[in-house]
Amino acid sequence: MSELRLDPTTREWVVIATERARRPHDFARATARPLPEAFSPSCPFCPGNEARTPEASASYADPATGSWRVRVFANKFPAVGPEGSTERRQEHPLALCVDGVGAHEVVVESPLHNRMLGLMSDEEVFDVVRAYRDRLVTLSALPYVRQVTIFKNHGPSAGTSLDHPHSQIVATPVVPWHMRHRYDVATLHFDERGRNLYSDLLQFELEQRVRVVRESPSFVEIHPYASRRPFETWIVPRSPRASLAGVPDAELREFAGVMRDSLRRFFTGLNNPDFNHILYTAPVGDECEPYYSWHLRIYPRLTAVAGFEIGSGIHINTSLPEQTARFMRELASADAGE
Amino acid sequence: MSELRLDPTTREWVVIATERARRPHDFARATARPLPEAFSPSCPFCPGNEARTPEASASYADPATGSWRVRVFANKFPAVGPEGSTERRQEHPLALCVDGVGAHEVVVESPLHNRMLGLMSDEEVFDVVRAYRDRLVTLSALPYVRQVTIFKNHGPSAGTSLDHPHSQIVATPVVPWHMRHRYDVATLHFDERGRNLYSDLLQFELEQRVRVVRESPSFVEIHPYASRRPFETWIVPRSPRASLAGVPDAELREFAGVMRDSLRRFFTGLNNPDFNHILYTAPVGDECEPYYSWHLRIYPRLTAVAGFEIGSGIHINTSLPEQTARFMRELASADAGE
């Protein structure tokens, strides 16, 4: 018999299909996808080809050589751009629209064409998440930006055909309904319980311990109770802070290490699966509220999202988060030489 | 400059990426995917192999031969099943769950392994949608069912590897949050405007006419104002009725013809793309309310859902519904020999 679990951060049900559940190692690719070469002459993100992309809006250099380690620039095919107004147009009571004013940037994560996040040093990952935070701060200051979404698509089924490691940042002139809902759910929890939802969630997971993958002084990595997909992973700070914008360097460096470890385990344990990751952070203007907490969610693309998910919003998870968390925890222990 | 449009049925924004917009015919497959043979000896859904599937819970026979034209049975790997209780269990304030009690059925749409809905006669499609309606009525009467979701996955990227034409029906013991939200949005519209949201939406589309593909006496086929995906198609009844359950045969037969035509145009105009379709219908117990309207949504899988969509809920549509509707309208006129 399967079980439906309610995600306390969205109030959405998830089917945990225990009868159809596959064992964690069944989700690994049969053979590792070969990594590309370290340099690809035709790749617009490789060093030497900078002229093929827009001018950098930010870059982080190797202190020894002075050459860039992380480079940020405007997407050449942007979903939203700097022109236009946030003034809504209401052509009809059922037709409300606004210009696509905002920013859409690419974060090239490494000069090396094959240096995936999970294979980097902690310091290299720190440069990437520092770019996330700094661009969040800069883009949030633009008068037309209401939400910044930071995400990564890795592999064709996750929505990219470009091998070169990169993330994207989209700053929209609206707070997405999806985000406002999560913020509202957290706010209601605070109003009712007097505590931050994400702190309570960590406390619950740390009591049960069965879905905790790894702990660091400031972060906890879990496979959540109501995981929507096999191996869905959240990295949540112990001290809630609504936005990534205010995270100091020391904490961000620690986060980079936890994230790198997690992605390395995906790479080794599941043979380099396609995945998305998303940095959840508060809407612009709601950064100081005690209700929400920024966090990272990793969604490996191991099963299809089909008609039932589209039509009901209920995901069918064919794995048990308790089992996948244990699988990853054992890999983490092995890594640590325990 | 792109444009953000608000979907009045969900209050979610969509990016219509006008600058990145591709022309409608660019979305067609370069070469048509070849159809399989009419019979596959190894297919559990083909005639003669009925013993490999559970006993039929319903079937619709050819009056001339007596053999089945549509056959419904329990999914062998069900997401939810008949055992269990709807009693919620609250292990912790943040952990609410319920047994996966419900029903999960397969609707085999034709005895022929290659007879896709778009290639059927109207009468054959009528059998399929009659099965949808009749199973909805039967499953809604089960004491533990609160919502019935009827959907189809066609092709690997839509979530199926089985060629034999089939749909699925999942009856859940909960109203999905996704559905309750749509119902609430429609109810609020009714409370404020005194009219059914879907009637108002059709009136708006029929005034503008630019996104209407086809009209029949009782139905209108549109590419909605805030289409989330290229070629997203809705077939909406002119007279709103909350549930498919009460639709009489004559109206259902007309619906079958409109749906068949629409799917045939997908087949010919886009070269048999992968797609999902979903029959939206009211929660069990809300069938008589004047707020909602049942309808069909077709989602071709022509572009990827990537990290931005997962993280913000905002879809980026790289086509204009005004252009795709026109493309389909012209195909419809050609079909009609106009």
For A7-19+41-81+90-335, CATH number out of 3.30.428.10, 3.40.50.300, 3.30.9.10, 2.40.50.140 equals 3.30.428.10
* Interface membership of A190 toward B (CB under 8 Å): no
Q: Would you state the structure tokens that stand for residue B69, as one six-digit string? A: 């034209």
Residue at token pair 């900078």: A50
Query: Rounded CA gap, A138 and B306, in Å?
Result: 24
Q: Do B176 and A204 lie within an 8 Å CB cutoff? A: no
Share of chain A above pLDDT 70, in %: 99
Q: Do A280 and B311 lie within an 8 Å CB cutoff? A: yes
Query: Rounded CA gap, B238 and B255, in Å?
Result: 11
Name every chain A residue with its beta carbon within 8 A of the beta carbon of B83.
Answer: 1
Do B263 and B117 contact (CB within 8 A), yes or no?
Answer: yes
pLDDT score, position A32: 79
* Interface membership of A314 toward B (CB under 8 Å): yes
End-to-end CA distance of chain A: 36
- pLDDT of B250 over the 60 cut: yes
Active site residue B166: yes
Domain boundary assignment for chain A = 7-19+41-81+90-335
Q: How many residues does chain B have?
A: 338
pLDDT in tens, A225-259: 999 999 999 999 999 999 999 999 999 999 999 99
Q: Do B177 and A77 lie within an 8 Å CB cutoff? A: no
Give the residue-averaged pLDDT of A316-325.
96
- For chains A and B, CB pairs below 8 A equal 241
Catalytic residue (choose from A113, A154, A164, A166): A166
Per CATH, domain B3-82+95-335 is 1.10.287.1080: no
- pLDDT of A156 over the 80 cut: yes
* Interface membership of A51 toward B (CB under 8 Å): no
Residue B100's SS3 state is coil
B 233-292 residues with CB < 8 A to A:
276-280
Give the residue-averaged pLDDT of B51-62.
95
Nearest residue in chain A measured CA to CA from B310: A278
Query: Rounded CA gap, A79 and A60, in Å?
Result: 25
- Prediction pTM value: 0.96
Nearest by CB to A177, which of B97, B100, B313? B313
Q: Do B81 and A159 lie within an 8 Å CB cutoff? A: no
Q: Would you state the structure tokens that stand for residue A9, as one six-digit string? A: 């951060």
Give the residue-averaged pLDDT of B220-238.
98
- pLDDT of A337 over the 70 cut: no
Give the residue-averaged pLDDT of B300-306.
94
Q: Do A5 and B95 lie within an 8 Å CB cutoff? A: yes
Q: Nearest to residue A174, comparing CAs of A89, A88, A107, A90?
A: A88
